[in-house]
Amino acid sequence: ETGVTQSPTHLIKTRGQQVTLRCSSQSGHNTVSWYQQALGQGPQFIFQYYREEENGRGNFPPRFSGLQFPNYSSELNVNALELDDSALYLCASSLAFGQGSADTQYFGPGTRLTVL
């Protein structure tokens, strides 16, 4: 077990709705990253938070947003859900961010989101 937890495990929403997914990082990890994994694909980087500020974003529109809190928890919010947003959403925490660092990322079990 990585010590990273996510909630809920499964979620069903309809198109146009909004959703909030939650993650609890390992204690002491000040960096959290969120990934989207479609069926049969590798995880795709959404964004990363370091010390409660966004620190890099992948190719995802602004309706994907996040928050990181001082207590090692974080949230991923998705507005105006689309059918293509159906995927496994993974958060990953790491010990520290640094230029050129190669920190191992510890993944949670994911939240399976289905958009109907």
Interacting residues toward other proteins by CB under 8 A: 2, 4, 31, 33, 35, 40-45, 48, 56, 58, 88, 90, 92, 94, 97-110, 112
Q: How far is the CB of 16 from other proteins (least distance, A)?
A: 27
Task: Between 49 and 85, name the residue whose CB sits nearer to other proteins.
Answer: 49
Contact in structure between 21 and 110 (CB atoms under 8 Å): no
Task: Between 92 and 115, name the residue whose CB sits nearer to other proteins.
Answer: 92
- HSE-CB at 100 with a 13 A cutoff on CA atoms is 0
Give the H or E element holding residue 74: strand 73-78
Task: Between 76 and 92, name the residue whose CB sits nearer to other proteins.
Answer: 92
Q: How far is the CB of 107 from other proteins (least distance, A)?
A: 3
Q: How far is the CB of 51 from other proteins (least distance, A)?
A: 13
Task: Between 71 and 99, name the residue whose CB sits nearer to other proteins.
Answer: 99
Q: How far is the CB of 93 from other proteins (least distance, A)?
A: 11
Closest CA to 90 of 69, 72, 76, 71: 76
Rounded Cα distance, 62 and 93, in Å: 22
* Separation in Å, CA 25 to CA 31, 39, 60, 62: 9, 24, 22, 24
